[in-house]
Amino acid sequence: MFSYLRERFTSHLRERSRRRARLVSKDGRCNIEFGNVEQSRFVFLIDIWTTILDLRWRYKMTIFISAFLGSWFLFGLLWYVVAYIHKDLPEFNPSINHTPCVENINGLTSAFLFSLETQVTIGYGFRCVTEQCATAIFLLIFQSILGVIINSFMCGAILAKISRSKNRAKTITFSKNAVISKRGGKLCLLIRVANLRKSLLIGSHIYGKLLKTTITPEGETIILDQVNIEFVVDAGNENLFFISPLTIYHIIDKNSPFFHMAAETLLQQDFELVVFLDGTVEATSATCQVRTSYIPEEVLWGYRFAPIVSKTKEGKYRVDFQNFSKTVAVETPHCAFCLYNEKEAKTKEKKGYDNPGFVLSEVNETSDTKM
């Protein structure tokens, strides 16, 4: 029992260490931290719109609620000051013929309620501005304009946050693992991607980046060195008809960074394969990017994906997502180098050369034996 728990704890720590080393999570979030940034944080306030959109919902709602409450309370104080200067408050014992700047403001609480009613245009009719004070009229106009600006900013930010293409990316899913097997006589790395909505992504383009640590001939160590990985489908990698799940593949040829890897050494490699899918959302015409990543433990050598699309008797096409990430073991060369050497050997065996000077002479065998 103790050995079992120790093994589970060790595997858990290994998994956590692996997650820390991943730059891009499976759901596309980037695990990177910026330190010692020389620019002041004031530059983020200059582009306040993008800053507000990038905030989490809890921070965004906190800012908006604080902005509303703060503006109501601030203008409530100003209305109270106006009433105090004009001596409209009950403690001044105004005369019967006294006309206040604002009717029925008796203290700070009633001033706050009038500020709230004014900014959100409730209009109960109990408290109202009179013609007595030009200051009150100016303050009413200023608060109304500022209230419209705050409301517009809040509604626009919430609408933009809800309609961001990042949410559309959540309905695009990649297979849990990548597989390496033969496809069309070539060794390929295959990944399956699916669109969970019936609306299409227009002008879709898919590509990949292999992140690894490299050492240059000059001795410089480059962490997160990026190598382009070209992914294609049978119709190419541009303008994908993304109505059903697609299996994209990368051909492991002599120009591929996977060419010198083998089934036995794959888990010993230190890399991260990041896959990107760019497209335009059909409903909103907004650009969208979906990304995921694969580490060596998530690349299965000698497997292919199980079939996922079938045709029913009624003539409809059915997609079974139960087999979306399911893999099947297939016979696969243990390295790309061996596959290409095998092809070259077979090609040389098929080649023949005629020698006109060659003459076949028959030799008569004799059975004479001397004792």
Do residues 152 and 190 both lie within one domain? no
Do residues 155 and 177 both lie within one domain? no
The half-sphere exposure of 112 on its side-chain side, counting CA atoms within 13 A, is 7
For residue 160, the model assigns a pLDDT of: 82
pLDDT tens-digit map of 272-317? 999 998 888 877 778 888 889 999 999 999 999 988 888 888 888 8
> Using CA atoms, how far apart are residues 269 and 271, in angstroms rounded to an integer?
6
Domain membership flag for residue 12 = no
> Using CA atoms, how far apart are residues 182 and 332, in angstroms rounded to an integer?
6
* Residue stretches of the chain with pLDDT short of 50: 18-20, 369-371
Do residues 309 and 172 both lie within one domain? yes
Q: Are 277 and 246 in contact (CB under 8 A)?
A: no
> Using CA atoms, how far apart are residues 117 and 147, in angstroms rounded to an integer?
11
Domain membership flag for residue 365 = no
Please give the structure tokens belonging to residue 156. 């626009």
Do residues 252 and 293 both lie within one domain? yes
Do residues 97 and 179 both lie within one domain? no
Do residues 101 and 177 both lie within one domain? no
Q: Are strands 271-281 and 287-294 parallel, antiparallel or unpaired?
A: antiparallel
The half-sphere exposure of 210 on its side-chain side, counting CA atoms within 13 A, is 17
Q: Are 203 and 239 in contact (CB under 8 A)?
A: yes
Residue closest to 24 by CA, chosen among 127, 174, 138: 174
Please give the structure tokens belonging to residue 315. 């003539």
* Distance separating the N- and C-terminal Cα atoms of the chain: 82
Domain membership flag for residue 93 = yes
The answer for residues whose C-beta is within 8 angstroms of residue 332's C-beta and 6 or more apart is 180, 181, 182, 187, 263, 301, 302, 303
For residue 198, the model assigns a pLDDT of: 79
The answer for residues whose C-beta is within 8 angstroms of residue 206's C-beta and 6 or more apart is 193, 231, 237, 240, 248, 275, 276, 277, 278
Do residues 114 and 185 both lie within one domain? no
Do residues 122 and 183 both lie within one domain? no
pTM over 0.75: no
Last residue of a domain, one of 163, 198, 233: 163
Phi-psi region of 239 (alpha: psi -120 to 50; beta: other; left: phi over 0): left
For residue 347, the model assigns a pLDDT of: 54
> What is the DSSP-derived secondary structure letter of residue 240?
-
Phi-psi region of 236 (alpha: psi -120 to 50; beta: other; left: phi over 0): left
Do residues 187 and 308 both lie within one domain? yes
Q: Are 228 and 209 in contact (CB under 8 A)?
A: yes
CATH number, residue 172: 2.60.40.1400
Expressed as residue numbers, the domain containing 198 is 168-348
Do residues 198 and 300 both lie within one domain? yes
Stated as kind and residue range, the H or E segment containing 252 is none
Do residues 132 and 192 both lie within one domain? no
Please give the structure tokens belonging to residue 42. 């004031």
Q: What DSSP assignment string belongs to 150-161?
A: HHHHHHHHHHHH
Do residues 245 and 329 both lie within one domain? yes
For residue 5, the model assigns a pLDDT of: 64
For residue 21, the model assigns a pLDDT of: 67
Domain membership flag for residue 82 = yes
Domain membership flag for residue 18 = no
CATH number, residue 72: 1.10.287.70
pLDDT tens-digit map of 217-247? 887 888 888 889 988 886 555 667 777 888 8
For residue 70, the model assigns a pLDDT of: 94
Last residue of a domain, one of 163, 181, 201: 163
Domain membership flag for residue 222 = yes
Average pLDDT, the chain: 81
Domain membership flag for residue 225 = yes
Q: 271-304 burial, b for 16+ CB within 10 Å, e for fewer?
A: bbbbbbbebebeeeeeebebbbbbbbebbbbbbb
Phi, psi torsion values for 76, nearest 5 degrees: -60, -40
Stated as kind and residue range, the H or E segment containing 135 is helix 134-162
For residue 371, the model assigns a pLDDT of: 43
For residue 287, the model assigns a pLDDT of: 83
Domain membership flag for residue 52 = yes
Last residue of a domain, one of 146, 163, 180: 163
Please give the structure tokens belonging to residue 95. 């005369």
Considering its fold, how many domains does the chain have in total? 2
Residue closest to 278 by CA, chosen among 341, 231, 218: 231
Q: Note the helical H segments in 163-290.
A: 165-168
pLDDT tens-digit map of 200-216? 788 788 889 998 888 87
